[in-house]
Amino acid sequence: MQISPSILSADFARLADEAAAVPNADWLHVDVMDNHFVPNLTLGLPIVEALLKATSTPIDCHLMIEDPDRWAPAYAEAGAGSVTIHAEAAKAPVRTLRQIRGLGARAGFALNPATDVAPYEGLLGEIDMLLLMTVEPGFGGQRFLDMVLPKIRRARALIERHGGEIWLQVDGGVAADTIERCAEAGADVFVAGSAVYGTGDPARAISDLRALASA
């Protein structure tokens, strides 16, 4: 069970301090958005490189970009511990996931709320983490979509059938009032943005979320 706080809700002018404010995080979740795949623009490779120098917490890069096949390897090469590409954007997912792994990072594969998991069963051998979006990607602070819960269960069953090694991450609207349902459905890596950085005490928020998810 791991918590990956999303710096999307942090103060971008103080990213090094914001990373230091969550010493109990398993990962730092970094949302890369290009204003094409999603209607928002955040940050890219130079900021990720700077963040990698500023923290020893491993970086979990979530690429919400139109051309992940072109860009994902560069994030792995820069030293991100995990690089996640979207099913809806990747044109050559097998090649890209293999490149990510070949560069020493964990390969993640993300599905939007309306994208079913069953068509991707054949890809499970290529990935280290499946990310199920529990909001439409693009913005922090949105309401958790309950409709994704049955898909979390189906994904967990597929992962178990496949040997159980793949991590199952949920991202979007994960907070004290939703994390238990996600854990019960089978998620084991929890991204939380506003529920961590939107509070006065991010480290405390992480311990509270961890306790709820492990209960």
Is there binding between residue 31 and ligand DX5 (CB under 6 A)?
yes
Is 163 annotated as contributing to ligand binding? no
Q: Which two tokens stand for residue 40?
A: 């928002």
Min dist. Cβ of residue 122 to ligand DX5 (A): 25
Is 36 annotated as contributing to ligand binding? no
Question: DSSP secondary structure string, 4-18?
Answer: EEBGGGS-GGGHHHH
Is there binding between residue 141 and ligand DX5 (CB under 6 A)?
yes
Is there binding between residue 138 and ligand DX5 (CB under 6 A)?
yes
Q: Which of 78, 90, 74 is nearest to 37 (CA)?
A: 90
User: One of 60, 146, 171, 177 is an active-site residue; which one?
Assistant: 171
Angle 139-30-182 (CA atoms, 0-180°, nearest 5)? 65
d(CA 215, CA 201): 21
Task: Return the DSSP state at 143.
Answer: P
Is there binding between residue 93 and ligand DX5 (CB under 6 A)?
no
Q: Which stretch binds ligand DX5 (CB under 6 A): 84-92, 147-155, 166-174, 180-188?
A: 166-174
Q: Which two tokens stand for residue 8?
A: 């999307």
d(CA 193, CA 196): 5
Task: By CB under 6 A, name the binding residues for ligand DX5.
Answer: 6, 8-9, 29, 31, 62, 135, 137-142, 171-174, 191-195
Q: Which residues are catalytic?
A: 31, 171
Q: What residues are designated binding site for substrate?
A: 6, 62, 138-141, 171-173, 193-194
